[in-house]
Structure 1
Amino acid sequence: MNLTRPIGGPAEPGETAEPPLTVLLPAGWKKPRGYANGMAGRGTVVMTGGLIGWDADEVLADGFLPQVEQTLRNILAVVAEAGGGPQHVARLTWYVRSVETYRESLADLGPIYRATFGRHYPAMALVEVANLVEPKALVEIEATAIIPD
């Protein structure tokens, strides 16, 4: 197993250079772009529920990209409650109503992702689903974070 460090270094000013998570890249595998195949870390594990793109008043953002942006902000709000930040997120599992909409949105999705998570790319999976519990939701994301002790 080849252990590599996360791309980019510290996510916040004043943080030490030692990253909280280690990117796992098996020998001989090509480095993925925009995600990691695996992450390892030690500390407090935070698992979110499936979060969607609504605000604190449960007003759902209008459209796929605005829902993604709000969902990512919601994930970071939950992780922050445990004392963590984007650099501590080890995994994101995306559930989308349309993979085609996701693919068509990639050019605009990158800047939205980087505005919330910076250049931290955890392990990710994306699954197309027929429905989500909230009927107007277009995306739901679960996250796992590991905050060092």
Structure 2
Amino acid sequence: MKKTLLPSGWVKPRGYANGVAARGTQVYIAGQIGWDEEARFVSKAFGAQAEQALRNVVAVLREAGGRPEHLVRMTWYVTDKRAYLAAAKEIGAAFRETIGDYDIAMSAVQVAALIEDDALVEIEATAVIPD
């Protein structure tokens, strides 16, 4: 069971949840970047890397027996805030196609660089698979 948390009187956020409460088996997914299963980057474009990183998150989650609706938290690390914002529509479409609803607690943080030089975005996630 997963419940989205929205304090009384708060405006519903667009594109994320302020908080999520859930019970079950916790799954911690390490930061995923925009490369494929053979560690090759799919593109140098921000939106394409974000889409692949989301697919990688789901692939790891499926290994635990989970599904996208079990995700409760994501942290996005981006190397360029402007590139992230410019790709917002593409990222939103990829998110809806890969993950579904925006009922996930999310944060986005701009960082100076990621460990893999060609990586533009890294997504860390937590899921709770109901008992």
Give the TM-score, by structure 2 length.
0.96
Distance 1:132 1:120 in 2: 25
Structure 2 equivalent of residue 49 of structure 1: 30
Structure 2 equivalent of residue 97 of structure 1: 79
Structure 1 equivalent of residue 67 of structure 2: 85
Structure 1 equivalent of residue 117 of structure 2: 135
Structure 2 equivalent of residue 110 of structure 1: 92
TM-aligned CA deviation for residue 121 of structure 1:
2.9
The one-letter amino acid paired with 2:126 is: T
Distance 1:119 1:41 in 2: 16
Q: How many residues end up aligned between the 2 structures? A: 130
Distance 1:94 1:64 in 2: 12
Structure 1 residues 12-39: Cα deviation after superposition (integer angstroms, max 9, x where no partner): xxxxxxxx31001111111111100000
Worse-matched range after superposition: 77-86 or 115-124: 115-124
Distance 2:102 2:85 in 1: 20
Distance 1:107 1:57 in 2: 28
Structure 1 equivalent of residue 56 of structure 2: 74
Q: Which runs of 5+ in 1 are unaligned?
A: 1-19
Structure 2 equivalent of residue 148 of structure 1: 130
Structure 1 equivalent of residue 7 of structure 2: 26
Give the TM-score, by structure 1 length.
0.84
The one-letter amino acid paired with 2:23 is: R
Distance 2:89 2:60 in 1: 27
SS in 2 for 1:80: helix
TM-aligned CA deviation for residue 119 of structure 1:
2.1
Structure 2 equivalent of residue 58 of structure 1: 39
Query: 1:86 touches 1:120 (CA, 8 Å); kept in 2?
Result: no
TM-aligned CA deviation for residue 120 of structure 1:
3.9
SS in 1 for 2:30: coil
Q: Which runs of 5+ in 2 are unaligned?
A: none
TM-aligned CA deviation for residue 108 of structure 1:
1.9
When you count strand as a share of all residues, which structure comes out higher? 2
> Is the aligned partner of 1:37 residue 2:18?
yes
Q: Which has the larger radius of gyration?
A: 1
Q: Which runs of 4+ in 1 moved over 4 A?
A: none
